[in-house]
Chain A
């Protein structure tokens, strides 16, 4: 009986503060003034920003997440070979974990803004003659890249930490055996380390992708309304327009997209039972 008493409070709490809002959101999305309808979705789809929000969000995710995976893998491998100083480097690389996405946005705003540090560097290098606007409405590509870069900076640590933990759990004998039997460092990485890291990569990708589709504050800080994203639109509809229904519709979109991505990862990166050493 005891364990059930111990988990009951948390279960109750999550039930009320997670499951209930979950159901409520879906309900809100399909209701207007109490009547069941898909009108919210129509309003959402017809909105001028809807198309951009979808495209922009997916663009950032498509650019940032794969890059982050590759970068984090490289960083995890680098850490493995580091002797002294590994702790310090690991700490430095995981500092972004403690940084709010809003703060991260502000950091990169300081760099990318018209009178910011990027333009300063470019000016000093002689590549531009005056401040260049990177974040304006007229430079959507530059804005996209700027935000993608900021996301890369902010969230690689999340993937890194999960991968480092996974790499640590690999018995070093596998790598040594591969080495003795003729595999070069690259071959060892591709044939031994990477396949054995599949579970960690799966976890990291699921977590990272779900968080990526939620991106909000970092975009607000850097791009403002020049760069609509799904959650940003949800926020505007809820808070500014006071239209809970359409906001909920956007929320449902995020939910479905996250769910779909999770299922794709679960399928594509699953390790068959007989391969679990």
Chain B
């Protein structure tokens, strides 16, 4: 008896998570009429991509999507380039200031994004990166970097030091050993970090909205047209926002859990 109650609870919580997304998908894929009907059906009469097509046809949407992709890719790149070496340093070397560095990294995540984006407006205008994917990606990198550093650090730590040492004995330089031995072994986890950096950037709203005017990312675009757009635009927009990231998270879920410290028992 107790077991079935417990399983019912688990199922309910799963439903609670999935049903709202289903409703959004329904609104986005159910065709133009479904959006405006009331009461709403729980099952699409006819699945149709028309709402999504209409959404993508709106002036500025495609450009915004491309801008989001650009920004997210840049964020991914910067996070890896800056974060992986730092993670390697933390994993393989014990140096004075390591703990202070770690603390600083953690500290950044304890602060709200708001503070970063506001004053950067002025700075970015001066540097000429205001209203560009590059500018926004810089802020996003600041968001994703702590994560990249700390997670890659534990990734590298999991690669046994003896493998690198063996490589040194057999003639590799330290850099070669890192590149040929450690990197390939840590690659799945690194890919997961990259994807998570992408997701963080893709989903971010505030900084993207503050720092763009004409070259908005998808999130910034949706935010500004929110109040004026008809419902079906909002549904389609939400759906387009969600789909890639949920797909990504599914692909890297095993690594995601390993990253957070959750093993498969």
Contacts and interface: CB of A to CB of B under 8 A. Distances in A.
Q: Do chains A and B touch in the complex (CB under 8 A)?
A: yes
Interface string B200-232: 001111100110000000010011001100010
Contacts of A162: 260
Given A14-B104, A210-B110, A238 B210 contact: yes
Contacts of A248: 118-119
B95 A3 contact: yes
B36 interface: yes
Interface string B94-116: 01001001001100111111111
Interface string A26-38: 0110000000000
Contacts of A89: 10, 14
A25 B263 CA distance: 41
Given A17-B141, A22-B115, A102-B241, 19 more contacts: A7-B89, A7-B90, A11-B101, A17-B139, A18-B108, A81-B6, A93-B17, A95-B21, A98-B242, A99-B242, A103-B241, A107-B242, A110-B231, A221-B234, A231-B112, A244-B119, A250-B114, A251-B118, A258-B110
A234 B118 contact: yes
A74 to B, nearest CB: 8
B93 A2 contact: yes
A97 B199 CA distance: 9
Which among B138, B206, B246 has the greatest number of chain A C-beta atoms within 10 A? Answer: B206
B182 interface: no
A153 B14 CA distance: 11
A224 interface: yes
Interface stretch (B45-53, B57-65, B159-167, B249-257): B249-257
Interface string A208-220: 0010011011001
B222 to A, nearest CB: 6
Interface string B16-46: 1110110110010000000011111010000
Contacts of A216: 205-206
Given A98-B199, A123-B39, A255-B112, A21 B85 contact: no
Nearest to A114: B38
A86 interface: yes
A54 interface: no
A9 B77 CA distance: 14
Contacts of B262: 90, 161, 164-165, 168
A161 B14 contact: no
A164 B258 CA distance: 11
A256 B36 CA distance: 44
Given A21-B116, A24-B119, A217 B223 contact: yes
B219 A217 contact: yes
Say whether chain A's binding surface is mostly helix, strand, loop, or mixed.
Answer: helix
Nearest to A242: B121
A21 B83 contact: no
| 3 pairs of A and B residues whose beta carbons are closest in the complex | A106-B238, A100-B203, A24-B119
B56 to A, nearest CB: 16
B10 A100 contact: no
Contacts of A65: none
A116 interface: yes
Contacts of A262: 110
A127 interface: no
A209 B238 CA distance: 25
Contact of B263 (A18, A96, A161, A168): A168
